[in-house]
Structure 1
């Protein structure tokens, strides 16, 4: 993206000058609208700023009309604990005792395909700065990853770099990675998904928002210098689908420095504590163009920016390049004149560069930018920030009915081998090869992370109050039924939090879909939004914010529609959280299945393992049953372990519960379903397996009955180290070997003998 410098005066003198708006991913009608808004052709800098701010990534121009449904459906009671919600950098929830938690998940998909390490690393860096911008200290990260087939050559190129990028950046920041998910599917072969989540804590009174207020207040840019990296990240990489050779779009990928970000975190927290910040905005997608125009649009005045004061690390940068650069580790603050010196002192203490680049003016909504002493932007901030709103056509595709017709599913001819293949499948095998690259316990407040249902963190070291966080999604379910698929993702994340003993309090999301210009894609998107919003109302917890990522496709082939849902829960004392490993308490434990098992295999792991085409309906979820599980688990000290049921069904859950302790069990499937095949492998929702000791057995069954939850005793742990079924015995050691070998075998072979993830 090469542009020449330009001024407003020159734009007035040369109205017919041709401009490269298409290279900036602007449509012809959008370019004409910009000229209409300005009353003239834009300068190069203005064209760049509008292209950035009107991109899908920044403006939500194709999704706004549907995202409004979240606000239309949320009740006052649901939002009563939300301190900052949809539209802010991150959602913030009041969790009591003066404490608040902020969390958000965001995509960095296309950059991670182009340059896996930096794409993933800067995805982590960007989401961490979103949390910082709320006035919070980041305390943990999570990730949701989607790749092509595990044995595909390009997966061997992309996955190691992504994993190294996430681990390298997060570990260097000293943030524990407390969970996530990695999925392999051919639909993601040319368009992997890298969704990063961050959690932060703050006191309620320390909340910060992004707005420029107070005439004469100064605009301070602080952090790393501005360079040429990342230019076009949101307008080019984030606003088009991939074609062959897209991995060569390196200039549009940002370059991260986690050590600079670590210093920036501490600097920001001291600035907040000193009370010298009026408004704050991070610089991520859209760079300085986004940060300054959004601050101006959200404030009560206008803004004057002088690009000559921006610290640069490249020479001869044009105004457009300075504004569009997505160089990392930068923040923008609004500071009163009397606090500027204190602001500079704190930045100097942390060796953070700080520069006064502008001020708030009394010209409401007017946004002016100077470069080399000349006026290069003169526009209304609201016209930059709001962008167009499209009512994209949407229609249920003709092929949906045929897709939902369940293809004949072959039953296992060798159940023993099928179960070994199940645990060893790329869908269910151990992710240790990936997660061992991450530090899970840095900072010392991680209570649960590795192999846990949800990440559990202590946020108050005196009261031991904590949070549980989980993220989930199933593109296969959502392809079959977008509304139900989104509800299932919400239900699983909610259930994962519930089985730790925490009470879910808020939802976030990252909605990954194909091109919004395709009516079938927009139908999927609309259905998913309605599924999440209606589901949130049924569960009684709010959607605190989210992110939309469109154009996730290669050519005409879109990814599976993938609405990633994050759920945050609160637990009064993390020492009482429920773990998921059974058989470790020193005495036999009774295993009880909660919930009803039905013959539901549409989109299941077994369907995929059996070689059948994706077809049928996904499991049908009644969210009222999920709420019952919350009431059952919250404060239930009689449970020694719990594990939700999802992909892989009952057998996978029991194996994962027993593997770490080495205990065995003989499963009685007759109380689960009349068909052992269904009992073992169905993926019906609203289910969990719990373990309890004999002295609490009756109490647990009564509690389940009191809450209207079906409960079936399926076995008692023993010291055999085997899972025994009718006619089949499977030693845990054999299952463990199959489960743990898959990814190391695939990726060490692909990368070369004795290689490790780098």
Structure 2
């Protein structure tokens, strides 16, 4: 790109000569003391390009400046034993864990919340693209995605716009990449009306020796930008062009506003995946970084900071798709489908040849240098000269004020025990159908059927399952299971316990398939960090999650923090989303989620059922009630559950299993019966309250179906480990009815109709 700039390029030389020139640091999101610190670091005012780099890299999204003092607790609570199988952890593009037989798995979940409200399709689509590139950057082949979605009330007019765009965006991008979507969650709640949550997880697999990290080392090694050309999309999202100093429109001089949502091209990403895998296989890559948030500003500063510390970049060598872009725009563009690699000089030709084979544009834009400076030139003039660590890793650290909400005691005192509880058989039946026919518990088939769940042929569990499962090795049958969960309602009632309940459910979902949980990732969605009550929720949730992982003995390998999720001054429910990865040595011994796979099955309920209905779906649907305390969590018991299910899976003792969570036992039985298309008869032991048994949301419980001749052996397995196991009924393949003996019955057809018609009626 040549001339046509709207003003003279702001070079380092010019910045030093004009120390008092006003700069729009506030419009770019920097505070006065942050701007002053930048001047002190550089010994002068920053250039336009430097100011843009610092503004995006010191943003909450990139620097974690309000959260990092709490996130350190994850490292403090991770023991050497927990780290034993971890090959890459917090600070890398994604966590990587050893899964046996020379294989490794990498996974991470990130948010794309705000863009998905502004432009739902592209916001969600590029959320998928971004997390997939994080997985690619570790040297892995992406093999599956999952999503955690939260929207406003299902019947609100704007919810249809957002749901339609987000679901089409996820399916349009993921399906085009050929990645199965193997699970997730969709929640509707008024607090997300103006601020939906779109959290996307991607998992990849690789051989241990193929692990790659993001660093630039070895003076003289070349820096190659490859993938899509760079344009103006995404710049508005980080406010780089908030003033005339940085501006004009796409057509040339005078641009003021630019799109804040990136535009994705899944077909470019698909060839980029294959191109990267061939480059890795040929040994042509020393270090690699994807370009996501903050674009080249992030990639260059992080690569240099994590390596030897020096790098030179020729910014005018970057291939552009828009005329008249300024250096600041090129650096901070968040155009999608781009990667940055460090390559030895002797391998550059081979690297470029592989890119040509896949028709992926690739350009040498710089090289690793001696020293500790990142220098970026524009048509021969220096526009950036900074210590890269001050950009990428030494940003501001805030100790935000914290205050327990003044309303917390009142909230916790407002229990659901004052609500009318159904007692008769007809009341219990009506309650079951009301919950099943609500947007909170109805079938999500309308959404998930828009996703390809079985592409690539390695998906062994997805539809109806508590966790998605994939075959990794076709010879041995080794596989992985993944689940994501979260509960804003429970976390509002008690952030520490709420985070642990999300962890426990994701852990239990993986265990229910017969896999052994081994690692955790997270996406922490909260309101403004400038709100002391939000920061109290955040701090409590982090501690709860870290302490919970320590009890379970599995590490947090990475994650994401998303702040400022609120409409006006009203924050969303605090929503920590937790992902758990598990390993199974042979997917052929997986436990399915459906009833009736074997004749004469016995139904048993594992764990303790208590009168715990505060924050439950029952309280939400029947009385729009939220108050009291969440269910108790016993993570030691969760470990025992996982051990029992793993042992039962190996010995073939369990023919079906389903986790109990939202909606309690009633919902678990309905889902498992519909999945197996079989009737069943529930018989509660004498002395049990049917309402509590059906609708309590006590944690640490799993419904299991056993072959009749294996009941005694399974019960012995539970007794040995001190795990309560209560026989509650039998499966009846000859029946089309779910019967709760002595109380009510309902046909599978009515259950199916009640559950399946809700979302198509709202969004179809």
**TM-score between the two structures when normalised by the length of structure 1:** 0.95
Going from structure 1 to structure 2, the CA distance change for 1:96 and 1:613 (only over 3 Å counts) comes to same
Q: Given the alignment of the two structures, is residue 57 of structure 1 paired with residue 69 of structure 2, yes or no?
A: no
Report the 3-state secondary structure (helix = DSSP H, G, I; strand = E; otherwise coil) of the residue aligned with 1:334.
strand
Check the 8 A contact 2:114/2:195 in 1, yes or no.
yes
Going from structure 1 to structure 2, the CA distance change for 1:4 and 1:545 (only over 3 Å counts) comes to farther
Q: How does 1:564-575 map to 2 (within 5 A)?
A: 564-575=577-588
Paired residue for 2:749?
733
Paired residue for 2:355?
347
Given the alignment, which residue of 724, 734, 737 partners 1:710?
A: 724
Distance across 1 between alignment mates of 2:205 and 2:169: 24
Paired residue for 2:300?
292
Cα deviation per residue 1:431-450 (whole Å; 9 max; x = unaligned)? 01111110000000000001
Distance across 2 between alignment mates of 1:499 and 1:738: 26
Going from structure 1 to structure 2, the CA distance change for 1:297 and 1:232 (only over 3 Å counts) comes to farther
**Greater shift in the superposed pair: 609-618 or 475-484:** 609-618
Report the 3-state secondary structure (helix = DSSP H, G, I; strand = E; otherwise coil) of the residue aligned with 1:659.
helix
Report the 3-state secondary structure (helix = DSSP H, G, I; strand = E; otherwise coil) of the residue aligned with 1:77.
helix
Shift of 1:92: 0.2
Distance across 1 between alignment mates of 2:324 and 2:751: 61
**What runs of 5+ residues in structure 1 fail to find an aligned partner?**
238-247, 749-758
Shift of 1:614: 0.6
Q: How does 1:20-39 map to 2 (within 5 A)?
A: 20-39=24-43
Q: Given the alignment of the two structures, is residue 380 of structure 1 paired with residue 390 of structure 2, yes or no?
A: no
Q: How does 1:316-331 map to 2 (within 5 A)?
A: 316-331=324-339
Cα deviation per residue 1:646-691 (whole Å; 9 max; x = unaligned)? 00000100011111333222211236x6211101000000000000
Paired residue for 1:169?
173
Q: Given the alignment of the two structures, is residue 370 of structure 1 paired with residue 377 of structure 2, yes or no?
A: yes
Given the alignment, which residue of 648, 664, 667 partners 1:652?
A: 667
Report the 3-state secondary structure (helix = DSSP H, G, I; strand = E; otherwise coil) of the residue aligned with 1:702.
helix
Shift of 1:39: 1.1
Paired residue for 1:145?
149
Going from structure 1 to structure 2, the CA distance change for 1:236 and 1:186 (only over 3 Å counts) comes to farther
Paired residue for 1:313?
321
Q: How does 1:262-281 map to 2 (within 5 A)?
A: 262-281=270-289
**Greater shift in the superposed pair: 655-664 or 138-147:** 655-664
Check the 8 A contact 1:147/1:184 in 2, yes or no.
yes
Going from structure 1 to structure 2, the CA distance change for 1:403 and 1:79 (only over 3 Å counts) comes to same
Shift of 1:391: 0.7
Q: Given the alignment of the two structures, is residue 742 of structure 1 paired with residue 758 of structure 2, yes or no?
A: yes
Given the alignment, which residue of 516, 532, 535 partners 2:529?
A: 516
Shift of 1:464: 0.5
Shift of 1:7: 0.8
Check the 8 A contact 1:118/1:256 in 2, yes or no.
yes
Shift of 1:416: 1.7
Distance across 2 between alignment mates of 1:282 and 1:11: 30
Check the 8 A contact 2:150/2:192 in 1, yes or no.
yes
Check the 8 A contact 1:410/1:610 in 2, yes or no.
no
Distance across 2 between alignment mates of 1:505 and 1:250: 43
Check the 8 A contact 1:3/1:320 in 2, yes or no.
no
Check the 8 A contact 1:282/1:332 in 2, yes or no.
yes
Paired residue for 2:246?
none
Going from structure 1 to structure 2, the CA distance change for 1:32 and 1:4 (only over 3 Å counts) comes to farther
Matched length:
734
Report the 3-state secondary structure (helix = DSSP H, G, I; strand = E; otherwise coil) of the residue aligned with 2:235.
coil
Given the alignment, which residue of 600, 606, 613 partners 1:601?
A: 613
Distance across 1 between alignment mates of 2:731 and 2:421: 28
**Greater shift in the superposed pair: 606-615 or 65-74:** 606-615
Check the 8 A contact 1:57/1:234 in 2, yes or no.
no
Cα deviation per residue 1:517-568 (whole Å; 9 max; x = unaligned)? 0110011000000011000000001111110000001110100000000000
Q: Given the alignment of the two structures, is residue 632 of structure 1 paired with residue 644 of structure 2, yes or no?
A: yes
Q: Given the alignment of the two structures, is residue 525 of structure 1 paired with residue 538 of structure 2, yes or no?
A: yes
Going from structure 1 to structure 2, the CA distance change for 1:3 and 1:444 (only over 3 Å counts) comes to farther
Given the alignment, which residue of 403, 408, 420 partners 1:410?
A: 420
Q: Given the alignment of the two structures, is residue 662 of structure 1 paired with residue 669 of structure 2, yes or no?
A: no
Check the 8 A contact 2:116/2:162 in 1, yes or no.
yes
Given the alignment, which residue of 702, 724, 732 partners 2:739?
A: 724
Given the alignment, which residue of 58, 68, 71 partners 2:72?
A: 68
Q: Given the alignment of the two structures, is residue 359 of structure 1 paired with residue 359 of structure 2, yes or no?
A: no
Check the 8 A contact 2:108/2:202 in 1, yes or no.
yes
Paired residue for 1:243?
none
Paired residue for 1:756?
none
Q: How does 1:207-226 map to 2 (within 5 A)?
A: 207-226=211-230
Cα deviation per residue 1:255-283 (whole Å; 9 max; x = unaligned)? 00000000000000000011111100000
Check the 8 A contact 1:229/1:253 in 2, yes or no.
yes
Shift of 1:308: 1.0
Cα deviation per residue 1:680-730 (whole Å; 9 max; x = unaligned)? 000000000000111111111111111111111111111221111233111
Distance across 1 between alignment mates of 2:756 and 2:556: 36
Going from structure 1 to structure 2, the CA distance change for 1:255 and 1:612 (only over 3 Å counts) comes to closer
Shift of 1:613: 2.4
**TM-score between the two structures when normalised by the length of structure 2:** 0.95
**What runs of 5+ residues in structure 2 fail to find an aligned partner?**
1-5, 242-255
Given the alignment, which residue of 560, 573, 577 partners 1:547?
A: 560
Report the 3-state secondary structure (helix = DSSP H, G, I; strand = E; otherwise coil) of the residue aligned with 1:103.
strand
Distance across 2 between alignment mates of 1:729 and 1:382: 66
Check the 8 A contact 1:57/1:235 in 2, yes or no.
no
